[in-house]
C-alpha cells in the first residue's frame, strides 16, 4: 500500500527488495508513493533522482545493486513537470535474471568498461587477475553481440545496463558530464529492456459514497453515471498532469450513522485524493469522519445546519465544501413563487392558505420554514406546516393538507416515493392546489412511475442542470454513453464535481497538499452544467442565484421547473427559463 499522505520519517538506507515507484523533488524529499513505499528507496537512489531533476535529464535507466543476498533492482527515473514544479518519479523492481543473461561480475566489468577503463585497471580495482577480466570481457561481448568494447559500452549506456553505485571510484572519470553527475542517468532516449520498469503514475482517485439500495438508489445511479462520464472525458484528454483519474465507489446506507462513518473510512483507507457524497441523514457524522481523515470532502447535503457548523468551526472543517446552496432556501422560495403567481393572476383559487408538508425523520433537515413563515405573514398568507415522521404517512398528510383548501402545497422531501404519494392524492381529489415539489422530480424514476400524471407538477432545486448549450451538450453526451437522458440535478452535479476537483488538481503544485488543493477550489470559479461554482470563504458553501441582485456568473441558479407534456421546462428564474407556467390539468374546480 502507498504511504500515508504527508508522511515524513527517517529514510531507509538500504533497499528492502520490494518494488516501488515514488515521487521525489529536487532536494530529494520523498513525496507520494505511486506504488509500494518510498521507504523502500535508499538514500543514494533518492539523491540520484534529485540530481536528475537538477540536471534537467528527462529520464535515466540503470541497475541498482542491493545487498549481496538481494537481487539487482532495475531502476527507471522520469523527470516531469507538474504545475509549477519539476519532480522525478523513480521506480524499481527486482530482476530475477540480469539483462542478456550477464553474471553479476560481468555486469560490474561492463559498468567499468563504460568509464573507459582498461582491463588492467579493472583487474586492479576489482582485485582479480587481468586474465580473468579478459575472459569476462569476451563473454559480455558475446552476450551483447558486440564486436568491440566501445560498442558494448554504448549498448550498456543505451539500455541502462550500468551498475550503480559504480563499483569503484572510477566514476570520477565521468564527473565532467551530466551523466556522471547523476551517476548513470542518460540524456538521450534509451532502448528499453523488457524487464525495465516503466513509470505507471498512480491515478488521481475520487472516492464516492453512494447508496446501492434504499430510497436513494435510483438517484445514486445518476450520480455514478455523471461521475463516470466526467472521468472518461478527463482521461480522454490526457488526465491531469499526465495522470489518469479513477473512481473508488463504496456503498452507504444514507439513513444509518454507522454506515456513513464506515463508508468514508473505507474510502480513506483506499487512499483516495478527495471524498464525495450526496445527501445522508447523519451529515454531522460524515463531516466529522471526513475532517478526521484530512482528505478534502465535497458533499451535496444542501444542509443549512451543517453550513452553520462549518462557520462556527472553520479550522476543523477547512477541507469540507458543500457543492450546492442549502435547503433553507426551499420554503422561502415556495412562498415567493406562490406570491408571484398570485400577483400574475395565475393561482386556481383565492385561498390565502399555503401548506408545507415536510419530512422530520432526518433531524438535520431545515427547509427554512421559519423564514418562510415571516415572508408569508408579510404577504398575507397563512402558512401551515405538516410534519411527517412515518415513511407511510405521506398520503395521510396530503389529505390533511387538501382539507385546508390551500392555493399550493409544498412537498419537503428528497425521495421519489413521498412525492408520488402526494401528487396522486392531489390528483385523486382534483384539489384546486398547485403542487410544488423539491428536488425529487429531478430523478428520472419520478416521471417514469407517474407517466402522464407527472404533468403539471412544479418543482425546485438548489442545483439543477441548465437547458443552455452547456447543459444540453452534457445531456446529449450522457444519453449517447448510457442510453437514457440524465436527471436534472445529481447527474450534472456529480459530473461538475469531478471537474471542480480536476481543475484544482491541475492548478495545484502538489495534489497531495490537501490544503493547497482546497484553496484552489475555494479561490476559483468553475462553470459547469449546473451553473457556476464559487464557495463562501467561511462556510465553504456554493453560492446561489435566485433573481435580480444576485450574480449568475458566480452562482448556481435556484431553478424552478414544471413538467409539461413529459418534458422538464425551466419556468424561473430569468435568464434560464425555457417555458412559462401552465395551469395543471387537475385544476378543474372553478376559482372561489
Beta-carbon contacts of 409 under 8 Å, excluding residues fewer than 6 positions away, are 354, 355, 356, 357, 398, 401, 402, 422, 426, 433, 434, 435, 436
Residue-level pLDDT at 519: 94
Q: Are residues 51 and 13 part of one domain?
A: yes
With contact defined as beta carbons under 8 Å apart, do 476 and 541 qualify?
no
d(CA 561, CA 431): 21
Q: Are residues 112 and 40 part of one domain?
A: yes
Measured N-to-C along each axis, helices 469-482 and 217-236 cross at an angle, to the nearest 10 degrees, of 100
Residue 485 lies in a domain: no
With contact defined as beta carbons under 8 Å apart, do 468 and 243 qualify?
no
Residue-level pLDDT at 67: 64
Give the distance from CA 506 to its chain's centroid. Answer: 12
Q: Which residues of 96-105 are buried (b: 16+ CB within 10 A; e: fewer)?
A: eebbbebeeb
Beta-carbon contacts of 183 under 8 Å, excluding residues fewer than 6 positions away, are 48, 51, 62, 164, 165, 166, 171
Positions in the chain whose pLDDT score sits under 50: 1-13, 169-179, 181, 184-196, 589-592
Phi and psi at residue 375, in whole multiples of 5°?
-65, -40
Residue-level pLDDT at 158: 82
Q: Are residues 154 and 23 part of one domain?
A: yes
With contact defined as beta carbons under 8 Å apart, do 488 and 7 qualify?
no
Q: Are residues 455 and 508 part of one domain?
A: no
Residue 413 lies in a domain: yes
Q: Are residues 97 and 156 part of one domain?
A: yes
Dihedral (C-alpha) 281, 287, 290, 291: value to the nearest 10 degrees? -170
Q: Are residues 434 and 370 part of one domain?
A: yes
534-544 pLDDT, tens per residue? Answer: 999 999 999 99
The region, left, alpha or beta by phi > 0 then psi within -120 to 50, assigned to residue 531 is left
d(CA 491, CA 210): 13
Q: Are residues 362 and 285 part of one domain?
A: no
Nearest C-alpha neighbor of 264 from the set 246, 245, 283: 283
Q: Are residues 177 and 222 part of one domain?
A: no
Q: Which of 202, 233, 254 is the last residue of a domain?
A: 202
454-512 pLDDT, tens per residue? Answer: 999 999 999 999 999 999 999 999 999 999 999 999 999 999 999 999 999 998 877 77
Residue 504 lies in a domain: yes
166-224 pLDDT, tens per residue? Answer: 765 444 444 444 445 455 433 333 334 444 455 567 788 999 999 988 877 878 889 99
With contact defined as beta carbons under 8 Å apart, do 388 and 355 qualify?
no
Residue 66 lies in a domain: yes
One-character DSSP codes across 351-397? --EEEEEEE-SSTT----HHHHHHHHHHHT-EEEEEEE-STT-HHHH
Residue 592 lies in a domain: no
| Preceding omega of 573 cis (within 30 degrees of 0) | yes
Residue that has been written with the C-alpha cell 435547503 in this structure: 327
Q: Tell me which residue range forms the domain holding 138.
A: 1-202
Residue 257 lies in a domain: yes
Q: Are residues 179 and 48 part of one domain?
A: yes
Q: How many domains does the chain have?
A: 3
Q: Are residues 187 and 39 part of one domain?
A: yes
SS3 content of the chain, % helix, strand, coil (to 5): 40, 20, 40
Q: Which of 138, 171, 202 is the last residue of a domain?
A: 202
Q: Are residues 262 and 154 part of one domain?
A: no
Residue 584 lies in a domain: no
DSSP bridge pairs for 388: 359
Residue-level pLDDT at 249: 95
Q: Whole-model pTM?
A: 0.72
Residue 274 lies in a domain: yes
106-123 pLDDT, tens per residue? Answer: 998 998 888 778 888 888
CATH number for the domain harbouring residue 425: 3.40.50.2300
CATH number for the domain harbouring residue 192: 1.10.10.10
Beta-carbon contacts of 262 under 8 Å, excluding residues fewer than 6 positions away, are none
Q: Are residues 192 and 49 part of one domain?
A: yes
Amino acid at each position: 500500500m502507498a504511504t500515508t499522505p504527508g508522511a515524513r520519517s527517517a529514510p531507509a538506507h538500504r533497499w528492502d527488495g520490494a518494488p516501488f515507484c515514488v515521487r521525489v523533488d529536487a532536494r530529494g524529499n520523498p513525496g507520494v508513493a505511486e506504488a509500494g513505499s518510498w521507504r523502500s528507496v535508499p538514500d543514494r537512489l533518492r539523491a540520484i533522482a534529485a540530481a536528475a531533476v537538477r540536471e534537467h535529464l528527462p529520464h535515466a535507466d540503470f541497475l541498482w545493486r542491493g545487498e549481496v543476498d538481494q537481487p539487482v533492482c532495475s531502476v527507471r527515473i522520469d523527470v516531469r513537470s507538474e504545475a509549477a514544479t519539476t519532480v522525478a518519479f523513480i521506480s524499481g523492481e527486482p530482476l530475477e535474471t540480469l539483462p542478456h543473461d550477464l553474471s553479476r561480475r560481468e555486469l560490474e566489468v561492463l559498468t567499468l568498461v563504460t568509464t573507459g577503463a582498461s582491463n588492467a585497471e579493472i583487474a586492479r580495482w576489482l582485485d582479480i587477475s587481468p586474465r580473468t577480466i579478459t575472459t569476462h570481457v569476451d563473454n559480455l561481448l558475446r552476450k551483447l553481440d558486440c564486436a568491440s568494447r566501445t560498442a558494448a559500452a554504448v549498448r550498456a549506456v543505451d539500455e541502462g545496463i550500468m551498475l550503480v553505485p559504480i563499483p569503484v571510484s572510477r566514476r570520477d572519470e565521468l564527473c565532467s558530464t551530466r551523466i556522471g553527475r547523476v551517476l548513470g542517468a542518460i540524456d538521450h532516449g534509451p532502448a528499453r529492456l523488457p524487464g525495465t520498469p516503466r513509470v505507471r503514475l498512480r491515478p488521481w482517485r475520487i472516492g464516492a459514497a453512494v447508496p446501492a439500495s434504499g430510497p436513494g438508489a435510483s438517484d445514486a445511479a445518476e450520480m455514478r453515471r455523471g461521475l463516470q462520464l466526467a472521468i472518461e472525458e478527463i482521461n480522454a484528454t490526457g488526465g491531469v498532469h499526465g495522470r489518469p483519474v479513477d473512481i473508488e465507489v463504496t456503498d452507504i446506507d444514507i439513513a444509518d450513522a454507522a454506515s456513513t462513518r464506515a463508508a468514508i473510512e473505507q474510502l480513506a483507507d483506499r487512499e483516495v485524493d478527495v471524498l464525495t457524497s450526496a445527501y445522508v441523514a447523519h451529515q454531522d457524522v460524515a463531516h466529522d469522519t471526513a475532517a478526521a481523515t484530512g482528505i478534502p470532502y465535497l458533499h451535496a447535503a444542501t444542509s443549512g445546519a451543517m453550513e452553520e457548523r462549518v462557520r462556527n468551526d472553520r479550522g476543523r472543517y477547512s477541507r469540507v465544501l458543500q457543492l450546492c446552496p442549502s435547503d433553507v432556501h426551499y420554503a422561502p422560495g415556495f412562498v415567493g413563487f406562490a406570491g408571484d403567481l398570485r400577483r400574475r393572476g395565475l393561482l386556481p383559487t383565492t385561498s390565502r392558505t399555503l401548506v408545507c408538508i415536510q419530512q422530520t425523520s432526518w433531524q438535520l433537515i431545515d427547509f427554512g420554514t421559519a423564514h418562510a413563515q415571516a415572508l408569508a405573514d408579510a404577504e398575507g398568507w397563512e402558512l401551515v406546516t405538516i410534519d411527517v415522521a412515518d415513511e407511510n404517512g405521506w398520503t395521510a398528510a396530503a389529505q390533511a393538507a387538501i382539507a385546508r383548501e390551500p392555493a399550493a402545497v409544498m412537498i419537503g422531501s428528497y425521495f421519489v416515493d413521498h412525492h408520488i404519494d402526494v401528487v396522486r392524492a392531489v390528483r385523486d381529489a382534483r384539489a384546486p392546489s398547485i403542487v410544488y415539489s423539491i428536488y425529487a422530480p429531478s430523478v428520472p424514476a419520478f416521471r417514469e412511475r407517474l407517466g402522464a400524471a407527472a404533468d403539471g407538477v412544479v418543482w425546485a432545486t438548489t442545483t439543477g442542470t441548465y437547458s443552455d448549450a452547456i447543459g444540453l451538450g452534457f445531456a446529449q453526451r450522457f444519453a449517447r454513453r448510457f442510453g437514457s437522458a440524465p436527471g436534472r440535478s445529481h447527474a450534472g452535479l456529480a459530473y461538475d464535481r469531478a471537474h471542480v476537483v480536476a481543475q484544482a488538481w491541475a492548478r495545484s503544485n502538489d495534489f497531495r497538499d490537501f490544503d493547497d488543493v482546497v484553496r484552489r477550489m475555494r479561490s476559483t470559479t468553475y462553470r459547469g452544467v449546473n451553473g457556476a461554482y464559487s464557495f463562501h470563504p467561511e462556510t465553504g458553501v456554493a453560492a446561489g442565484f435566485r433573481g435580480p441582485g444576485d450574480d449568475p456568473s458566480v452562482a448556481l441558479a435556484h431553478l424552478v421547473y414544471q413538467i409539461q407534456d413529459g418534458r422538464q421546462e425551466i419556468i424561473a428564474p430569468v435568464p434560464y427559463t425555457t417555458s412559462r407556467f401552465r395551469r395543471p390539468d387537475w385544476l378543474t374546480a372553478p376559482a372561489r
